[in-house]
Amino acid sequence: MIQNHIDSFAQRELSDDRNFELGKLHADRGDFDNAIKYLSLSADQYFQQRNFSDFLKCKNILLRIYAEREQFEDINFTKEQLQDLVLKEGFDLNSKTYYTLATCACYKSQYENALDYAQKSLSLALAQDSKEDICNSIFLIALVYSFLGKHTDALKEIYNLQVFFQVYNFPELKISTKLLNTRILRELKKYDEALTVAWETYEEAKELRNNVININILGMLGVIYFESGDKELSRLYLGMASKMVDAHNQVRLNRMIQSFLSKLGGESKQAYDIVFDEANHCITEKKIGQIDFKNQFILLDLLKLLVLNQGLVFSKEYLVENVWKQPYDPAIHDNKIYVTIKRLRKLIEPDYDKPKYIFRAKNGYYFNKSVKVLMEK
């Protein structure tokens, strides 16, 4: 009987660890939908077992995913959940959690909060003498300094990390540090040095097989070449990054890549399904031609929201609060949303009965991420 309990417990542990490993694998590949699925399942299982250490391990990765996808509501919910752990379970947030909260604050441009979280992370890591957590915390402090424009302070922290890397092997963190170093050199307009570090990073990253890191490196190369005046090479590397990036999952990264590609203006407008002329309140659809949205502000704002976030599903509540700027009331707004989407489809869909652009999902609406859209300012 006792052995059966032991075997059952061991199987549960293996199952939980397997879900975590699958989630981590999908996260590294940039498949965040599946990563969230497995990591959430694993986190729930760890929580039920009162295994808070591994529970936090899952939450750390989930928070980074939410930040990359700019799912700030999920970030806030997770932060509240962790705070409940402290109040109800008497559990202290660990260094890794403060590190992740700092990352999320950076994505939200809350740099002072990010610095505070990163310093708390470092303090806890030093107290535990956890070399990996110490390095993670120093990296975050360097990152925040770079966002604050304190490049000298950031480079000092990067130097401290390089000393650690001579002794300890943290390959992903080492690559991330090199990417940060590259970005700072670019911002200082030291383009030759930035390219040298970027290409070193590219070679070292080959061993990691981490798609998200690879896309970041290609994007960084494209930006450096753009700013140093080599538009041809910039278009090459940004184009490669654009083909690899998942607009639904890597929202922040995709926006940066598309922004620079738009500045390059490499492709003919005929290559795009829709050209969005924001300044003149109109679009040009490949088959229909120019469609005027003057004095149709709700339709234009709705289309812009969908187009800028191709593949991302927006709930009815979110649409009402961000397009109509009203608190959501199903009795008032459900039909209004349906009618507005119908009007928008009739305007932009070449074949209304076979929609190409706007689709209904279980929880809302989304814009087809496979179509090509050019945003003109």
pLDDT (0 to 100) of residue 218: 95
pLDDT (0 to 100) of residue 7: 40
Amino acid at 168: Y
Q: Phi/psi of residue 375, each to 5°?
A: -95, 120
- Considering 46, 69, 91, which residue would you say is the last residue of a domain? 91
Q: Among positive and negative, which fits the CA dihedral 14, 20, 23, 25?
A: negative
In a domain, 189, yes or no: no
| Number of domains within the chain | 2
Amino acid at 86: V
Rounded to whole angstroms, how far apart are CA atoms 348 and 368? 13
In a domain, 140, yes or no: no
Amino acid at 361: A
pLDDT (0 to 100) of residue 8: 43
pLDDT (0 to 100) of residue 270: 60
- Considering 52, 76, 91, which residue would you say is the last residue of a domain? 91
CATH number at residue 317: 1.10.10.10
Provide the residue range defining the domain that includes 32: 1-91
In a domain, 245, yes or no: no
pLDDT (0 to 100) of residue 267: 54
Q: Provide block-wise average pLDDT over 10 residues at a time, the chain (377 residues).
A: 41 67 88 91 90 84 85 84 77 78 79 93 94 93 94 96 94 93 96 96 88 91 95 91 79 85 69 83 85 89 92 92 92 93 94 92 91 82
- Considering 58, 91, 124, which residue would you say is the last residue of a domain? 91
In a domain, 47, yes or no: yes
In a domain, 194, yes or no: no
In a domain, 10, yes or no: yes
C-alpha distances out from residue 290 to 242, 269, 281, 333, 377, Å = 26, 12, 11, 29, 16
In a domain, 23, yes or no: yes
Q: Phi/psi of residue 365, each to 5°?
A: -130, 155
Helix pair 171-187, 131-147: axis angle to 10 deg: 20
| Nearest of 297, 303, 310 to residue 255 by alpha carbon | 310
pLDDT (0 to 100) of residue 99: 80
| Nearest of 308, 310, 297, 312 to residue 344 by alpha carbon | 297
pLDDT (0 to 100) of residue 181: 97
Quick check: pTM over 0.75? no
